[in-house]
């Protein structure tokens, strides 16, 4: 009989963002695999399940990341094909820029293996809380490389969140914190044509430990190319201003127009 696959997220705060549902699957798995970015999480996972194996060995300096992802998928599916209950744990949200998690679920389902994903806290969730920003009033989210190579008509009246700005245009794995300074230059130029070079932005990194604060560094688009950025840095671009209200819609809804709008 085929086994099963659970792809779970651990959030960003080491062992602090994990849901009770996820902990149950981590403990019960016949085989547990993980990809995390801190030693505390590694120690916690190996103590939780003796079968725990680190997926980080699939990476190597200069090795194409797609090749590493394919190896991870095969490692997850091999025991599931043998009938084992497999759980794969990734830091952050397992559905946000975690290609091996999505690919493993797709392939498992094609092979008739039961597979599902469990939600978790993402870096963007942490950003909303740490910056005090409510995405309900407008937020656009893109991976930075994809944002540049596939131009969008985005709304400058809504906030813009760009992930992985330290790795723009890089397809292999690198050990240094910043993978592409040139990518930052191109990104700053692209955004500057819309917002202006002096538009204030925020360089953000979620806290990994309860005793350490998140990184919240104000900058400008002009200063972005020289800023201290890593592959984990997320860029938050505040809106230029709120869109003008549609007074006809206000009246149709029976609402009082905002002050000063007639």
Going from N- to C-terminal start, the domains of the chain cover: 4-117, 123-237
Of residues 56 and 243, more confidence is placed in 56
Annotation says 69 is catalytic:
yes
Catalytic residue (choose from 42, 65, 81, 190):
65
Confidence (pLDDT) at 241: 86
- For residues 87 and 80, the answer to whether their CB atoms sit within 8 Å is no
State the Rg of the chain over Cα: 21
Say how far apart CA 199 and CA 237 lie, in whole Å: 8
- pLDDT(13) > 90: no
Specify the CATH number for 4-117; select among 3.40.630.10, 3.40.1010.10, 3.40.50.300, 3.40.50.170: 3.40.1010.10
pLDDT tens track for 167-198: 999 999 999 999 999 999 999 999 999 999 99
Q: pLDDT at position 51, please?
A: 97
Residue position matching structure tokens 């599931």: 80
Q: Are 125 and 13 in contact (CB under 8 A)?
A: no
Alpha-carbon 61 to chain mean position: 22
Rounded to 10 degrees, what is the CA torsion of 23, 29, 33, 38? 20
* Beta-carbon-side half-sphere exposure of residue 194 (alpha carbons within 13 Å): 19
pLDDT at 262: 63
- Name the residue among 149, 173, 143 with its Cα closest to residue 66: 173
Look at the pTM and tell me if it is higher than 0.85.
Answer: yes
Q: Which percentage of the chain shows pLDDT scores above 90?
A: 87
Q: What is the pLDDT of residue 165?
A: 97
Distance from C-alpha of 5 to C-alpha of 78, rounded to nearest angstrom: 11
Q: Has 242 been annotated as catalytic?
A: no
Task: Give the span between the Cα atoms of 48 and 197, in whole angstroms.
Answer: 49
Mean of the per-residue pLDDT values of the chain: 95
Determine which one of 12, 34, 91, 195 is catalytic.
91
Instruction: Give the integer Cα–Cα distance in Å for 252 and 249.
Output: 5
4-117 and 123-237 have identical folds: no
Residue 54 φ/ψ region, left for φ over 0, alpha for ψ in the -120 to 50 degree band, beta for the rest: beta
The pLDDT tens digits of the residues spanning 190-242 come to 999 999 999 999 999 999 998 899 999 999 999 999 999 999 999 999 999 88
Catalytic residue among 12, 59, 69, 195: 69
Bridging pattern class, strands 200-205 and 215-220: antiparallel
- Residue 260 clears pLDDT 90, i.e. is over it: no
pLDDT tens digits along 58-109: 999 999 999 999 999 999 999 999 999 999 999 999 999 999 999 999 999 9
- CATH 1.10.3470.10 correct for 123-237: no
């Amino acid at each position: 009989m085929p086994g099963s696959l659970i792809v779970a997220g651990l959030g960003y705060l080491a062992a602090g963002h994990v849901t009770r549902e996820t902990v149950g699957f981590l403990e019960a798995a016949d085989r547990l695999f993980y990809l995390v970015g801190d030693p505390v999480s590694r120690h916690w996972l190996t103590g939780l399940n003796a079968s725990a194996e680190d997926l980080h060995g699939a990476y190597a300096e200069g090795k194409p990341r797609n090749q590493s992802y394919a190896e991870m998928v095969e490692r997850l599916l091999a025991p599931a094909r043998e009938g084992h209950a497999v759980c794969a744990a990734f830091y952050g949200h397992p559905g946000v820029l975690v290609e091996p998690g999505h690919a493993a679920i797709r392939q498992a389902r094609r092979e008739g293996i039961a597979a599902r994903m469990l939600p978790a806290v993402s870096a963007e969730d942490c950003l909303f809380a740490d910056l005090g920003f409510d995405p309900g009033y407008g937020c656009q989210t893109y991976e930075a490389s994809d944002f540049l190579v596939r131009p969008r008509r985005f709304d400058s009246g809504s906030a813009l969140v760009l992930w992985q700005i330290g790795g723009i245009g890089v397809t292999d794995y690198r050990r240094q914190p910043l993978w592409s300074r040139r990518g930052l230059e191109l990104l700053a130029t692209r955004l500057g044509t819309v917002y202006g070079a002096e538009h204030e932005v925020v360089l953000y990194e979620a806290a990994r430990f309860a005793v350490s604060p998140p990184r919240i560094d104000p900058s400008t688009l002009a200063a972005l190319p020289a800023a201290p950025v890593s592959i984990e840095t997320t860029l938050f671009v505040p809106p230029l201003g709120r869109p003008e209200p549609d007074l006809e819609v206000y009246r149709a809804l029976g609402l009082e127009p905002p002050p000063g709008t007639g």
